[in-house]
Structure 1
Amino acid sequence: MPVPPQRDPDLTRAALTHWLGTRSDEIGAVELGPVTVPKEAGFSGEILLFDAEWTESGVRRRQALAVRVAPTGHRVLPEDFWDDQVRLLKLLGGTGLPVPKVLWDEPSGEYLGAPFLVMERVDGQVPADLPSYHRQGWLADLPPGDRAAVWNGGVDALAAVHRLDVREIGAGFLDRPEFGPTGSGQLLRRFTHHLDFYGVADDNTTAAAALDWLRAHVPDDTGPVSLLWGDARIGNIVYAGTRPVALLDWEMAALGPAEADLAWYLHMDRHLSEGIGAPRLAGLPGRAETVARWEERVGRTARDLPFHEVFAAYRFCVVTARVARLLGESGILPPGTDFPLHRNATALLATVLEENGPAVSSRGRGPALQRPRTA
């Protein structure tokens, strides 16, 4: 679901044309093609695509570019993570991970009303969230063996993120010691610190029960600290055929146990199948096979997955409450609408809680414990 249109495409094109011409005294004769928004773009970030031509040092250059604009009016996430995100993307460009190359970044809001960065555009296909890739699209059109290759390529890319040495790449700035020691407890406290921003309803007893459970089951975290992609899912991967060529959307990056990413990867796929009442695509490896492959790639056993799977389900439920609020504020949905995304996320959270132990706190069960309905 893309961010609602926030700018005039012709004015944006003129602003970017002028801005690109200021990058160097050697750059001139800048021409930009139409500025478009990718249909796969998520609600948390504004992406602009265009082709650019310019003369640099007497040589005519042409390149497909992507601009990511810092969120302003439609903020799904509470923290201003922009500077850290730009810094991280630049660091990752030297690690061998398939991330888009950052060409330039603009720290001011002078040109587009917010900071932005310009990256090389990576050609390929992205599994769509809406409609779910389990229902239709290029992934559904592949034979089962190729679907498995797509999924496993994502698992391998995720494991490559987790094999990075946080100190060696200089990613320690992602730590948030104000929320406690690096680990599961820090991630939970950092997230719940912003519950008022997300706006989950007081009568959502499923979310309340999940938070009680999480606070009672925080792991000791004896494992290593890893770089966390944050929004790790195949819907944030550009594929060339079945091969990942770009890992996108690092605005939720953090430090902590790598299992938090693995659980998110599993849960987001589950939401787009079971969570919306859609059959999961044949050929996609299941949970056990996925975990085993990840363990083989990172060289250790997964720890505390039940906690991280409940945490993933809880976070997604809370984030969808924020998305529902933004849709109401933007006029896309009437305020108070029963939004299927949030309703289904809450129902799947209830299921995950039931699978992992006592799900209901003293607050009891409420109407939020419905089963998922087709979106």
Structure 2
Amino acid sequence: MPIPVQRDPELTRTRLAQWLRDTLPAHDVVVGPVTVPRTAGFSAEILLCDARWREHGRERTVPLAVRVAPTGHRIFPDLRWREQVAMQVALADTAVPVAPVLGHEPDPQPLGAPFVVMVRVAGEVPADLPSYHRQGWLADATPTRQRAVWWRALAAMSRLHRLDPATLPVTAAPTGDLEFYAGHLDHFGADGNPAVAAALAWLRAHRPPAPAAPAPLWGDARLGNIVFAGDRPAALLDWEMTDVGRPESDLAWFLHMDRFLSAGIGAARLPGLPTRAETVAYYARLLGRPLEHLEYHEVDAAFRFCVVTARVVRLLERTGVLPPGSDFPLHRNATALLRRRLAEAGVDLSSAGVPGL
């Protein structure tokens, strides 16, 4: 579900063309119609357009994706815009596939907020709405292709986890810190959720020690943030939650998001996708070591996703996309899956005051 359109398309075209002329070695810049992708998320405004210009005497036509920092529709109170852009720029020199960055603008004056201009990578993205388990190119694929997409997505993610964080502009992020969420439950609109309170108590009681060798993390690691060219990842998208920590954190989020888009919404999981056990064994081989504290990170993923969905629903109501008190199923389903995950971890939900499953 894309963030609501917040700007005049023609004025945006004019200002973006001027910015390209000022920033690139480009002349005779023409920017085509600006559209919003149907499957975009709610964490930033995404604008798509084609641009044509002359560069060093030659004409170029480039498909562009412009990611504009959110202003009135922020999920997280801490934007970390510079960090996420810097991370994507730095990864262009590694084996991690990312969309090439043509430039970025920290000044909000041209488009009303900071933005980054990327080359739009050709390919297909598994959709969240409707879930890729129910329809779309991945649902229509053979089980063999579905399996290949899963394995190759994990292999691409593992390339990030094997990088030295000292070579990248990534630091510990509040979006990965348990107490950050605990201190901002009112901002997210999750402060009255008993399942969230029970999860927070369990996570505090079972928090593992800090990793001896933290790895760079993607943060929002999921199939829906990958552009696939055929069966191969062409670009990992959305570095808003980039962090340092255990690779298990990314893997847990990856697994939880897939579970939410299948069992979490009552959809049958695609037959070709590997099981959790197969995935864990495969990722351990990619890392060259056994996985550590995965259950903790899976509960943490369920907790954080539940909190984030409360904020998304609140924003949808504030913008008029949903009527107030609409009981949109996104957060309700996320809460139900959090309760299920807590029960699997051995939490006595009745004694914790959490309604039954």
Q: Pick the TM interval, shorter chain.
A: over 0.9
**Deviation of residue 114 (structure 1)?**
0.3
**Deviation of residue 192 (structure 1)?**
2.4
C-alpha distance in 2, partners of 1:73/1:242? 37
Q: Would the aligned equivalents of 1:214 and 1:310 in 2 still touch at CA under 8 Å?
A: yes
Closer/same/farther in 2, CA of residues 148 and 128 from structure 1, 3 Å limit: same
Q: Would the aligned equivalents of 2:85 and 2:239 in 1 still touch at CA under 8 Å?
A: no
**Deviation of residue 227 (structure 1)?**
0.8
Q: Would the aligned equivalents of 2:211 and 2:246 in 1 still touch at CA under 8 Å?
A: no
**Deviation of residue 359 (structure 1)?**
4.2
State the one-letter code of the partner of 2:231.
T
State the one-letter code of the partner of 1:136.
Q
Q: Would the aligned equivalents of 1:350 and 1:359 in 2 still touch at CA under 8 Å?
A: no
State the one-letter code of the partner of 1:350.
R
Match of 2:206 in 1: 217
Q: 186-195 vs 316-325, which deviates more?
A: 186-195
Match of 2:168 in 1: 170
Match of 1:276 in 2: 265
Q: Would the aligned equivalents of 2:226 and 2:236 in 1 still touch at CA under 8 Å?
A: yes
Match of 1:21 in 2: 21
Q: Would the aligned equivalents of 1:317 and 1:346 in 2 still touch at CA under 8 Å?
A: yes
State the one-letter code of the partner of 1:13.
R
**Deviation of residue 291 (structure 1)?**
0.8
Deviation readout 1:232-274 (Å, 9 max, x if unpaired): 0000000011110000000011111111100000000000000
SS at match of 1:22: helix
Match of 2:183 in 1: 193
Q: How does 1:1-375 map to 2 (within 5 A)?
A: 1-24=1-24, 26-167=25-166, 169-171=167-169, 173-175=170-172, 187-202=177-192, 204-360=193-349, 363-366=352-355, 369-370=356-357
Q: CA RMSD in A?
A: 1.6
State the one-letter code of the partner of 1:308.
H
Q: 270-279 vs 64-73, which deviates more?
A: 64-73
**Deviation of residue 357 (structure 1)?**
1.3
Q: Would the aligned equivalents of 1:104 and 1:118 in 2 still touch at CA under 8 Å?
A: yes
Give the number of aligned pairs.
Answer: 357
**Deviation of residue 365 (structure 1)?**
2.1
**Deviation of residue 56 (structure 1)?**
2.0
C-alpha distance in 1, partners of 2:219/2:188? 17
C-alpha distance in 2, partners of 1:196/1:293? 39
Unaligned runs of 5+ in 2: none
C-alpha distance in 2, partners of 1:299/1:359? 35
Deviation readout 1:278-324 (Å, 9 max, x if unpaired): 00010100100111111111111110111100000000100000001
Identical pairs, percent: 56
Deviation readout 1:310-345 (Å, 9 max, x if unpaired): 000000100000001001100111112211000000
**Deviation of residue 191 (structure 1)?**
3.1
Unaligned runs of 5+ in 1: 371-375
Q: Would the aligned equivalents of 2:152 and 2:231 in 1 still touch at CA under 8 Å?
A: yes
C-alpha distance in 2, partners of 1:295/1:122? 30
C-alpha distance in 1, partners of 2:354/2:125? 38
**Deviation of residue 11 (structure 1)?**
1.6
State the one-letter code of the partner of 1:78.
P
State the one-letter code of the partner of 1:194.
H
**Deviation of residue 223 (structure 1)?**
4.7
Closer/same/farther in 2, CA of residues 110 and 293 from structure 1, 3 Å limit: same
Normalising by structure 1, report the TM-score.
0.92
SS at match of 1:285: coil
C-alpha distance in 2, partners of 1:344/1:222? 32
Q: Would the aligned equivalents of 1:259 and 1:305 in 2 still touch at CA under 8 Å?
A: yes
Q: Would the aligned equivalents of 1:209 and 1:359 in 2 still touch at CA under 8 Å?
A: no
SS at match of 1:49: strand
**Deviation of residue 31 (structure 1)?**
0.7
SS at match of 2:23: coil
Deviation readout 1:56-97 (Å, 9 max, x if unpaired): 232222211111101111111221210111111111111121
SS at match of 1:113: coil
Deviation readout 1:124-147 (Å, 9 max, x if unpaired): 000000000000000011010000
State the one-letter code of the partner of 1:134.
H
